[in-house]
A and B are shown apart, each in its own frame.
Chain A
Amino acid sequence: MKNIAYLFLAFVLIFSSCSEEEIPAQMTVELNFENTLNGKPLQLNSETFTLPSGEPFIAKKLKYYISNVVLTDTQSGAIYNVPNSYHLLGEDFKSTVELGMIPSANYDQITFSIGVDAEANAKTDQTGDLDPNNDMAWNWNSGYKFVVLEGEFTHKTTGERTGLVLHIGRNQNYKTVTQSLTGIRAGRAAQIQLKTVVDQLFLSPNALNASELPSTTIMGGELADKIGENYANGFITIE
């Protein structure tokens, strides 16, 4: 009787150990975002920054959505689509996205989008990070602001403190980014460090000179789409 019990225990242990190499079936993953400007960590209400076009700049608000995070192990083909993946990040706001326990794999690629997809962007009666109480839903034009940067710069010609308001949204500015990951091992807790480079909103492919903008309040139209093109590449990168 005793022997049978030990046998049973051994049997159970063999089958319950998940995989041959003792790799846990699941692992925790979190994404950490650091916002930067002029190559240093962004601080709101600080006088020590300049815009890429040279004007002294005081940032007052930075918030942005990333959504539909996908982790891929290109070797094994394992793909993990984060469910209900809408994450609002910002300076003096959230800087971490916890994916929780996800299936283990040697993930070597991350895909995510800046903004929210057309389906989620069509209606604003939503919850979680998409709750309109987050001040990112437009009231008069259903949808979400994808990237918000607000601040004041010193105008090159007038010398005056000038408000700069970028509220970039609309479906055409939903941009998907894929980046390589290194050092993630199946079964081990992983922290993915990402850098959000605010400079890139003004840099390429559309260099924007703040003091020459026809309007320093940009909430739609051609200029907003140009900023959308700018944040499509190099705005959020793996460190």
Chain B
Amino acid sequence: MKTSRLLVLALVWSFWSCQDENLLPESPVEVVPETFIPELSSSLQVGDFPQPERNPLSKEGVKLGKRLFFDPKLSANGKISCASCHLPSKAFTDGVALSKKGVSGNALHRHSSPLFNLAWHTTGLFWDGGANDLESLNFGPLTHPDEMAADLEEIVAYLIQDKTYPELFAQAFPKNPIQSATISRALSQYTRTLISQTSKYDDWKRGEATLNSLELQGYQLYQNHCSSCHQEGLFTDLDYHNNGLDLIYPDPPALEGLFLGRFRISFDSLDLGAYKTPSLRNVTLTAPYMHDGRFESLEEVLDHYQSGIQVNYSLAPQLKEGINLSPDERKALLSFLKTLQDDAFVLSHIQDSEK
């Protein structure tokens, strides 16, 4: 009896004395959600889907992200969701130049961007590319006083007490509790699944549809005049250019270089007034145009490229001569641009958002 007690004592001592006191109990086995990669059309010309290492797509993550995207309760006044300014019916834009829909009611300084094919935007997001990825971007609109004006801690508190969210988070992110990072990751998973690749153009490229002669002429004009920046496939080169909108750029300190374009991020003088090339996909749905929505119609945009270019030091060299098109050529080009309108994409996401 005594012997066994001593043995126990000895054993306890030997295990206790030099053990790392920080040893954690073994973590329980967790169900990790299965990841997936969306199907892609060859007409996107993207090769593959870049699955983010830290935030791979899962059905559970996308489902949660969609719920968050359409949930106005995330905002400070409970009235604004991401979808308030990113409407599925307008290829996730809002149809106004500078929205005043935010919590403060103040007009924004930038036009609401369309949301599709974002997975390939690896050269920065926002008009000036200031956000390195979607996961980092989301905190901007969530917290900006002129947008959703949310306090991240209050969002977390709201989600924790909700009836549905805790279960959805547990399924999507079993290793992490509800926190800022997982909220943003879920939103990013949803927005990465917004892939526009079912336009008439896509069908044509895959040999499943034909373009009429006007559209084909427009395609030629696009290739000759637009494709260096609006590269075929995604219809953007994902790069930043000064397209001659303004000669000079005001710089009020309170706006932290907002009117300087890409320069406020890169501090490269060639990026003054430069903004990201928007995609021409769905361009017929995303009026008004430019980073500040200054042009109401595609006609106005073409007028700008024909005769409105402001030439300064940082102007994109491709635009020095402008883009001169005859009225017939314009008609043809606009006819081709219409083939990039992806009604199936828009419809499916309108229906999906109503589920």
Contacts and interface: CB of A to CB of B under 8 A. Distances in A.
A133 B152 contact: yes
A164 to B, nearest CB: 12
A142 B18 contact: no
Given A141-B130, A220-B257, A100 B136 contact: no
A217 interface: yes
Interface stretch (A5-13, A32-40, A69-77, A226-234): A5-13
Contact of B139 (A1, A100, A139, A216): A139
B180 A131 contact: yes
Contacts of A25: 18
A101 B18 CA distance: 12
Contacts of B55: 125
B22 A100 contact: yes
A123 B132 contact: yes
B14 A15 contact: yes
Interface in B33-60: 54-55
Nearest to B155: A133
A226 to B, nearest CB: 14
A124 interface: yes
B230 interface: no
Contacts of B11: 12
A127 B14 contact: no
Contacts of A18: 17-18
Nearest to B7: A5
Nearest to B133: A123
Contacts of B137: 142
A15 B152 CA distance: 52
B21 A9 contact: no
A197 interface: no
A140 B131 contact: yes
Contacts of B139: 124, 132, 137, 139
Contact of A124 (B3, B126, B135, B144): B135
Contacts of A138: 130
A145 B307 CA distance: 43
B177 to A, nearest CB: 9
A16 B13 CA distance: 8
Interface in A211-226: 215-217, 219-221
A123 B55 CA distance: 12
Contacts of A2: 2-3
A126 interface: yes
Given A5-B6, A16-B14, A141-B264, A132 B152 contact: yes
A125 B181 CA distance: 4
A31 interface: no
Contact of A140 (B20, B138, B140, B152): B140
A5 B11 CA distance: 11
Contacts of A142: 130-133, 136-137
A25 B2 CA distance: 31
Interface in A94-147: 100-101, 122-127, 131-133, 137-143
Interface in A1-60: 1-2, 4-6, 8-9, 12-13, 15-18, 25-26
Contact of B267 (A17, A101, A137, A221): A221
B24 interface: no
A219 B131 contact: no
A122 B17 contact: no
Nearest to A222: B267
Pick from A6, A16, A17, A101 the residue with the most CB of B within 10 Å: A16
A137 B135 CA distance: 12
Interface string A169-196: 0000000000000000000000000000
A138 to B, nearest CB: 8
B176 interface: yes
B135 A125 contact: yes
B117 interface: no
A115 B88 CA distance: 40
A172 to B, nearest CB: 10
A216 B254 CA distance: 10
Interface of B: 2-3, 6-7, 9-11, 13-14, 17-18, 20-22, 54-55, 126, 128, 130-133, 135-140, 143-144, 151-153, 156, 176, 179-181, 184-185, 188, 253-254, 256-257, 264-265, 267
- The 7 closest A-B CB pairs, nearest first, are A133-B152, A125-B135, A142-B136, A142-B132, A139-B140, A16-B17, A125-B181
13 contacts: A8-B6, A9-B10, A12-B11, A12-B13, A13-B13, A101-B21, A123-B133, A124-B139, A125-B180, A132-B143, A140-B128, A140-B130, A141-B265
Interface of A: 1-2, 4-6, 8-9, 12-13, 15-18, 25-26, 100-101, 122-127, 131-133, 137-143, 215-217, 219-221
